[in-house]
Structure 1
């Protein structure tokens, strides 16, 4: 299958490598570009864990990141967990069913959350304090000239965030393409909901990993 990847770099290349390893053809067409933003590091001793919902938070945290490796890390998704381990973190727990499920199980009471400007909203358990620090943001890129051609050649479009799903849907509607001729694969139920209905096929990962998503196609 030819699979179109619209997530920002460097995540797009990471997904492309998994797509290729699974025997498919990967095409990258990022809809966003991600960059770091300035942020203040709070007093580390005030926290007993680090919350990670995207590997991008570690990629763009900058020179403050090594100061945090002493905190146990709680990650949403195996992809994020593996990246955290590769840069020196002790991954204490990995959530495969979303952030709410993970937070119900963590053995920490005060978490530092490094996140992007566009992030998941959720209600943490009442006895859990979370301090969120924004370390990166994603800006929309211009529509590629070959958007129509590239899209219609793909067997599936892979969607990794609700924001990407919303923008992709808007682009398809703006250029008046038929949604019922396009198939999508979403990394979670929330992402699929953001994409809306009317697609030829919708496949949803049972766990928020590329490999699980690919297994559903």
Structure 2
């Protein structure tokens, strides 16, 4: 079975590797991004009815200004972000699966002036009629070059997990820079938007059924089983890890 490589930033990389281990999958972390805070201008609390959070990174890196929004309702993506929101003193009004857009039909009456705390790269939202949204970029993912350890691993077949379009584009660019043969690499994408940014000439590219880490790992497991017979895989005994 080929190794599963996780290139998302920490702490997500370690979380995905741990989740894979619980499923009996051989996953290894090589984070190719570092999440860094951005300077941002807060919106006055009285001008905000509810906060939108697509990632817990907004809470990890938003800084002291987040305190002014304590007690406000928040619509978040995923259980982990919900836990972080509660820890920051927000009242979780809704937990979306797969993206903030799915939370839009669930906005409660009176939650019309929305504050989105987001990363530099994000999916644009379509708001319900009568709603407004102010966006503040509070963090960014800074790309890292493929380290020699990962380049060595990619000399043989592998399945690479892609959690964002930015990751897809960066990984493709790094493979081009290092002349890595794409034809032996399978890409498991968390959704079609990510798949659109992967480029060509990979062994196979597939998207998870739903944009969640659990579905992505299930897809990776399927792809490992589907690898052509006779492929020469790395042994898990001395596999280098960048995490």
TM-score where L is the length of structure 1: 0.88
Aligned residue pairs total 217
Q: Provide the residue aligned with 1:189 in structure 2.
A: 192
SS at match of 1:15: helix
SS at match of 1:213: helix
1:194 is displaced (CA, Å) by: 1.3
Unaligned runs of 5+ in 1: none
1:210 is displaced (CA, Å) by: 1.1
1:49 is displaced (CA, Å) by: 0.9
RMSD: 2.2
Verify the 8 A CA contact 1:4 1:154 in the aligned structure 2.
no
Q: Provide the residue aligned with 2:22 in structure 1.
A: 21
> Which residue, out of 148, 170, 175, partners 2:173?
170
SS at match of 2:126: coil
1:78 is displaced (CA, Å) by: 4.0
> How has the CA–CA distance of structure 1 residues 104 and 196 changed in structure 2, closer, same or farther, with 3 Å as cutoff?
farther
Q: Provide the residue aligned with 2:218 in structure 1.
A: 215
Unaligned runs of 5+ in 2: 221-243
1:130 paired with 2:111, answer: no
> How has the CA–CA distance of structure 1 residues 155 and 103 changed in structure 2, closer, same or farther, with 3 Å as cutoff?
same
1:159 is displaced (CA, Å) by: 0.8
d(CA) in 2 for partners of 1:21 and 1:42?
A: 42
Verify the 8 A CA contact 2:98 2:212 in the aligned structure 1.
no
Verify the 8 A CA contact 1:52 1:75 in the aligned structure 2.
yes
1:153 is displaced (CA, Å) by: 5.0
Which range moved further: 8-17 or 44-53? 8-17
Deviations 1:138-165 (A, max 9, x none): 2222331223222345631111111111
Q: Provide the residue aligned with 1:38 in structure 2.
A: 39
1:97 is displaced (CA, Å) by: 4.3
